[in-house]
Structure 1
């Protein structure tokens, strides 16, 4: 990362939500655009991704142009904001994007340069080229439930998956879904406090073992569905781009949308197969 800071095509997005964290210290060249800027109400549901033109204007305002290379980072559990923004870039047809493994904590801990100076930059020229192949909608989800080659992964906490918390109109999960809480792929629960970091992934071999234990195969047609379409982005990126699983998509409406329908709901622990 540090070796490429002088590359004019390299753009860095700091998507931490609290601006004071950015002001206190950030990566050189990093532009702060909080991840919650990219979502809002759509007339039917809360916290949905904005329309394509608005998403494009946000990236342009942060200095992004279609031919750039982009690195996104946040800190701690807000790694989900970084993976979400990276997903939205891919969704917009942008190809060259990465999430900084370890996030701000990992970068600072490696004694790389951190600055308080704000970068001077020009707005970018960003054209959205919608990529619908990486997502599914509610109608598609309805058709996929119960299909033998389809695996729904639900990265929410166990309490939400089982329907123990009264949050939505209906609580529980899509029938047949496998519950793999998103921190499972990260060092969020490392027993060594010095290594505990939700923004740091476990080794790919460790993640492969987790998937094998759950009988999730590269040949599966995988749909990741969470609470609001944010948590799902971490597992989507790991499965598709780091492990090379070819058929991985996100159900963006996730449980916020699904719970408003009359489609079947399962509660309690994941059913053994």
Structure 2
């Protein structure tokens, strides 16, 4: 009878994941998918860490390394802007991204100031934007995988080119003009996902200090476990805090941060963990807005709407 338990459990897992979706997944469930006896059902595993030497030292079995920052570059003097769509599609295809497959994303670094989880949510955002609708983020990251006693490897996978030939970007992003048009309209909330000191302009990072006028503050790290910043808190444990901040499912939520990584995590949580229907990301974020000196900034905190 014991011989039937593992196949039966795997069958139940595969059945539960049969419908494509975007969500987080436990290390145990991720391991079961990676080890599926049917290779055609295994996910395409993507290591999104910025440190390629970290990937060389250890990564998940069959993980392809896609440094998140290869998807961005300086444009018209403004750093870390998303690349043009045609270049992004080439890079994703080269990385094996395929609309017909599930994708398992992860990074590492369990404690702040390490924020590599933002790499995973940023890549997930880009994949979703290009029409990939089967995306799993490893809850707890590589740290949780190792803590569970699961094996890592130094071997490179034989990654085949992906297929995004029919992809056209989905309207989940925002331009600065759209943000300025929408942010004060009824039913819309503009939220800054950076740490509170940056929101208030008490930092040495940014060209201009403060935030977009009207924005409220909600630091992305509030959504993550205290002992592992790659592990998402259950929605029930943060619902009251989100509600107090005015972030409720009836709103059209416009998210930004410094470079869009922090915003990508807040958007991922609201959209795919909490299930909020209307959440979009201002890709240019503060790095772009701060350079547009014709637009005002403010440093006072705003009350939730």
Aligned to 1:263: 295
Partner in structure 1 of residue 32 of structure 2: 3
Q: State which of 36, 40, 47 in structure 1 corresponds to 2:80.
A: 47
Secondary structure of the corresponding residue to residue 147 of structure 1 = coil
Asked if 1:108 corresponds to 2:153, the answer is: no
Distance 1:206 1:238 in 2: 13
Q: What is the deviation of 1:44? A: 4.4
Please say which of residues 154-163 and 59-68 is displaced more in the overlay: 59-68
> Among residues 163, 185, 200, which one is paired with 1:147 in the alignment?
185
Which sits farther off after the overlay, 131-140 or 217-226? 131-140
Partner SS for 1:21: helix
- Separation in 2, partners of 1:175, 1:132: 27
For residues 92 and 225 of structure 1, the distance between their equivalents in structure 2, rounded to whole angstroms, comes to 20
Is the contact made by 1:66 and 1:127 (CA closer than 8 Å) also made in structure 2? no
Scaled by the length of structure 2, the TM-score of the pair is: 0.82
After superposition, where does 1:232-247 map in structure 2 within 5 Å? 232-247=263-278
Query: Which structure 2 residue ranges, 5 or more long, are not aligned?
Result: 1-29, 110-114
Equivalent in 285, 288, 300 of residue 254 of structure 1 = 285
Q: Which residue of 2 aligns with 1:73?
A: 106
Residue 230, structure 1, aligned to residue 257, structure 2: no
RMSD of aligned C-alpha atoms? 1.7
Once the 2 structures are TM-superposed, how far is the Cα of residue 272 of structure 1 from its aligned partner?
A: 6.4
Give the deviation of 1:104 after TM superposition.
0.4
Deviating 4+ runs (over 6 angstroms): none
Contact residue 246 and residue 304 of structure 2 kept, 8 A:
no
Which string of whole-angstrom CA distances, capped at 9 and with x for unpartnered residues, describes residues 70-92 of structure 1?
A: 01100122000000000000111
Larger radius of gyration: 2
Change (3 A) 1:101 1:65: same
CA distance in 1, matches of 2:103, 2:239: 27
Q: Is the 8 Å Cα contact of residues 225 and 255 (structure 1) preserved in structure 2?
A: yes
| TM-score, normalised via structure 1 length | 0.92
State how 1:172-211 maps to structure 2 within 5 Å: 172-187=210-225, 190=226, 196-211=227-242
**Structure 1 residues 162, 140: CA separation in 2 closer, same or farther (over 3 Å shift)?**
same
Q: Corresponding residue for 2:68?
A: 35
Unaligned runs of 5+ in 1: 191-195
Determine the C-alpha separation between the residues in 1 that align with 2:232 and 2:88.
27
Cα offsets for 1:172-212 (capped at 9, x unmatched): 1122212111111001xx2xxxxx11111111111212212
Quote the Cα distance in structure 2 between the aligned partners of 1:186 and 1:133. Answer: 27
> How many positions carry a matched residue from both structures?
266
Distance 2:33 2:304 in 1: 48
Q: 1:17 to 1:204 in 2, by over 3 A?
A: same
